[in-house]
Copies of this chain bind each other. A is one copy, B any other.
Amino acid sequence: MSIQFEIESQSGSARTGRLITPHSEVETPVFMPVGTLASVKGVSQDILEELGVQILLGNTYHLYLRPGVEQIRRLGGLHRFMAWPRAILTDSGGFQVFSLTDLRKVTEEGVTFRSHLDGSSHFFSPEGAMDAQIGLGADIIMAFDECTEYPADRDRMRASMELTLRWAERSKKHFEEHKDEVPWFNHVGTAAQALFGIVQGGMDHQLRRESAERTIAIGFPGYAIGGLSVGEPRALTREVVESTLEHLPTDRPRYLMGVGTPEEIVEYANLGIDMMDCVLPTRAARHGLLFTSEGKITIKQARYAGDEAPLDPNCGCRVCRRYSRAYLRHLYASNEVLAQVLNTVHNLSFYLDTMRAVRHSILLGKETGSSCVWSRPKP
């Protein structure tokens, strides 16, 4: 047994559910904070638990380079290594390698790439990506795909989609043969990881449909929509998400990779997406861009230097309960490490609160507009 997915309520296309993974239950729709190198930058795991994070994302490419898959495997897998008892999802490394535009070469067999750290040469194949993700031991792992660049012509989109489909078959075959090698296989009641397939097809609705149908034919316990948020206009992203969702089974979790803003995660949850991840809340926090119920705040601005109000008067997070905008502005302007820590805690809190509000609205059968994000009641 790998995962179970139970839908609890539906409202239009949106639904709430429970994703039961070997390590914990996850309420959906869910936003997954990104913990690239086995750490959500600056935030201790205690605080992530307090924030209500139920599932974290780790990046296979980064962990493969540091500290190395074998090291993590020997230490019992990613959960034990980073002392995180709840669910984890790892990406396949495909998107990260895709981002190394000048450092990679794609062939039928896989991708040769150079490390962004030291220029050393490495090779990822569907089989290698499965071995890496089995060694890391996340609850949910992803098929090795090619993320089609944007813009791309139809021939290129088709060729890329076909490659991803062949790689999906190879990913599944290798995973099925090796899934009992996950470090915790016999510790968590012989539970196994769940391998999700990824739908590609560029911005072409017809290709997306074909990719969805053929990926479903291979058969996975969950499906992701990949290849979006790669530079295309937001309206196009939404169109592709909507048209792809029509072709995905309703009884399996649907994961939209790499989105988005607070408004977007509400919008996609309302379209029926169950899982999302994005570096935005954490990366923006490090640059002093903070999400609040009253809109975005660029904390370095001089206007906040004397502002005694909490960052977000409608937020109950440990940052908003204790500190003023003036203090947060001072920390940021003075390049204090605590700025990054507190800003990240708040932004994650805002994203998680947003998803809680969305789940609540779906449960009540209400369409959740972005208004729920920007005007939540005081806690």
- Identify the A interface with B (CB < 8 A): 37-39, 41-46, 66-67, 71, 74-75, 81-83, 305-306, 308, 318, 322-324, 326-327, 330-331, 333-334, 336-338, 340-342
Chain B residue nearest in CB terms to A37 = B334
Chain B residue nearest in CB terms to A46 = B318
Those 9 A-B pairs whose CB atoms lie nearest each other, nearest first: A42-B337, A67-B330, A39-B338, A83-B322, A39-B336, A66-B334, A37-B334, A41-B337, A83-B323
24 contacts between A and B (CB under 8 A): A37-B330, A37-B331, A37-B334, A38-B330, A38-B331, A39-B336, A39-B338, A42-B42, A44-B338, A45-B322, A46-B318, A46-B322, A66-B330, A66-B334, A67-B330, A67-B333, A67-B334, A71-B306, A74-B306, A75-B306, A75-B308, A81-B327, A83-B322, A337-B341
Cβ-neighbour of A39 out of B46, B331, B333 (below 8 A): B331
Chain B residue nearest in CB terms to A337 = B42
Q: A318-B46, A327-B82 are in contact. Are A305 and B67 (CB under 8 A)?
A: yes
Is B71 a contact partner of A305 (Cβ separation < 8 A)? yes
Chain B residue nearest in CB terms to A339 = B39
Is A81 a contact partner of B337 (Cβ separation < 8 A)? no
Is B341 a contact partner of A75 (Cβ separation < 8 A)? no
Is A327 a contact partner of B44 (Cβ separation < 8 A)? no
Q: Which residues of chain B are within 8 angstroms of A75 by Cβ–Cβ distance?
A: 306, 308, 324, 326
Complex-state Cα separation, A338 to B305, whole angstroms: 27
Chain B residue nearest in CB terms to A340 = B337
Q: Which residues of chain B are within 8 angstroms of A42 by Cβ–Cβ distance?
A: 42, 337-338, 341
Q: How far is the CB of A35 from chain B (nearest CB, A)?
A: 10
